[in-house]
Amino acid sequence: MQANNTTDSASATKKPKVLIVGGGYGGLKAALGLQRKLKTDADITLISKHDYHYQTTLLHKVAIGTLSSRKARIFYRKILNPRKVRFIKDKITKILPDENKVIGNGGEYAYDYLIIGLGFRPDSFGVKGVDKHTYKLSSLNAALKLMKNIENKFKEYTHTKNAQDLSVIVCGTGFTGIEFTAELATQLDELCLICGIDRSLPKLTCIGRSAHILPVFDEKLAQVAESKLKNLGVDIISGASIEEIKEGVVIARECKSDKKLEIKGNTIIWSAGVKGSDIIENSTLPNKKGRIPVNAQLQCEEYPNIYVVGDSAQAKNKDMIHAPTAQLSAQMGDYVAELFVAKLSGKEFERPFTFNHRGTVCSIGHTDGVGVVFKRPVKGEIAAFMKNTIENKWLFSLGGFEMVFKKGQFRYRTSN
């Protein structure tokens, strides 16, 4: 009895170890919330595979070269206070929930509480050839690789005269696919001028399974986006299921007519969907395609000392299921930080997580877009302005006005 009491009082004075894995929208917000609000003594560590956070929502611009990677990258050392949150750059390879530790390339990390925010990876949905023959917009490095490829293909064309070098096919007509396609379409004039290519030669095709593009929006708004893209010279194929990707060819089938389609192009981008992290998928944690089912407090019920934020989380309650977005991830990060501030101070915290959906805007180049903001449809320059405001608001939440001035989106210009 005596021995137990001693152990209890010793563990009561021990600093609780809170480990956050993944420094994206969810994990970084959790770390910053704890940095700012936690008054009790705790050992807070953030581990992520790069020493910077990148704005995934801007990757389509990095991939076209309209935004420098320097601007899309925010070093953790600039926003984290090492006296409050320790940052470790490491790639996590295993999560061992039964042993309360995670393994990385650089070592083993024990925890009392774990917050998982390992984000997403592209989902091929079993379509053959996706891994081998397509580019993805899944990270800053992947976006830079795609940028180099497009540049090279356009330059090569002047020697090869191979029309396929100028044909870009985007698989997926959701947010990512449309933002990327539009960004490229608006830059084609300049790219052709630089490479000395006739502007009528490049071909840009966007192909997806849903009946209309941007299925997150209603049909009317999607139509607006579609006509804007068509005006930019983009070929849109909706209602077609992609069956296979071979080198330089996308093979698809029209859902209604069953007609087989073969679209040729030497740059193929896969943006048809995402799933959760393979580290989660390969662990003993309960998960569906790398996403961990969570309760109303974003807790993994099988391992109550594990909380999950962002694209790694899959709500158990149907009312809580929303499309995985940066906005949702950031709000989850804020929530978990609040929960831990209360928990580590010995206070009750019963409020469930609720998502405050402020709106979604899809950019169509730099001066145009469509979206829904506070339940109202927006389009054109107002939408583009709102998109920039959303990005700047995120930067403000990380580092105040200084961060907005350094990294913000101010290149707003009218289309006239």
Q: How far is the CB of 249 from ligand FAD (least distance, A)?
A: 24
Q: Which lies closer to ligand FAD via its Cβ, residue 11 or residue 105?
A: 105
Q: Which lies closer to ligand FAD via its Cβ, residue 181 or residue 266?
A: 181
Q: How many residues bind ligand FAD (CB under 6 A)?
A: 35
Q: Which lies closer to ligand FAD via its Cβ, residue 113 or residue 120?
A: 120
Q: How far is the CB of 402 from ligand FAD (least distance, A)?
A: 22
Given a contact cutoff of 8 angstroms between Cβ atoms, the answer to whether 207 and 242 are in contact is yes
DSSP character at residue 248: T
Reported for 342-346, long-range contacts at CB under 8 A and 24+ positions apart, including other chains, are: 344/16, 344/18, 344/38, 344/40, 344/42, 345/39, 345/40
Give the contacts of 140 (CB within 8 A, at least 6 positions apart). Answer: 50, 54, 59, 62, 69, 72, 73
Sheet holding 135-136, edge to edge: 135-136, 267-270, 167-171, 203-207, 234-237
- The DSSP bridge pattern shows strands 73-75 and 52-54 to be antiparallel
DSSP character at residue 161: -
Determine the Cα–Cα distance for residues 301 and 294; give it in Å rounded to an integer: 7
Residues 298-337 as x/- pattern, contact with ligand FAD by CB under 6 A: ------------xxx-----------xxxx-x--------
179 a catalytic residue: yes
Determine the Cα–Cα distance for residues 276 and 38; give it in Å rounded to an integer: 29
Give the contacts of 394 (CB within 8 A, at least 6 positions apart). Answer: 25, 55, 57, 326, 330
- The DSSP bridge pattern shows strands 167-171 and 267-270 to be parallel
With CB under 6 A as the contact rule, the residue among 69, 266, 277, 283 that binds ligand FAD is: 277
With CB under 6 A as the contact rule, the residue among 38, 72, 80, 92 that binds ligand FAD is: 92
Q: How far is the CB of 159 from ligand FAD (least distance, A)?
A: 31
Using the rule CB under 6 A, is 27 a contact of ligand FAD?
Answer: yes
DSSP character at residue 58: G
> Which positions from 105 through 124 interact with ligand FAD, judged by CB under 6 A?
117-120
Using the rule CB under 6 A, is 187 a contact of ligand FAD?
Answer: no
Using the rule CB under 6 A, is 48 a contact of ligand FAD?
Answer: yes
Q: Which lies closer to ligand FAD via its Cβ, residue 118 or residue 127?
A: 118
Using the rule CB under 6 A, is 66 a contact of ligand FAD?
Answer: no
Determine the Cα–Cα distance for residues 334 and 397; give it in Å rounded to an integer: 11
Using the rule CB under 6 A, is 369 a contact of ligand FAD?
Answer: no
Determine the Cα–Cα distance for residues 332 and 30; give it in Å rounded to an integer: 8
Using the rule CB under 6 A, is 155 a contact of ligand FAD?
Answer: no
Q: How far is the CB of 156 from ligand FAD (least distance, A)?
A: 26
156, 179, 244, 348: the active-site residue: 179
Which residues are at the interface with ligand FAD (CB under 6 A)?
21-27, 47-50, 53, 56-57, 59-60, 91-92, 117-120, 137, 175-176, 277, 279, 310-312, 324-327, 329
Catalytic center residues: 179
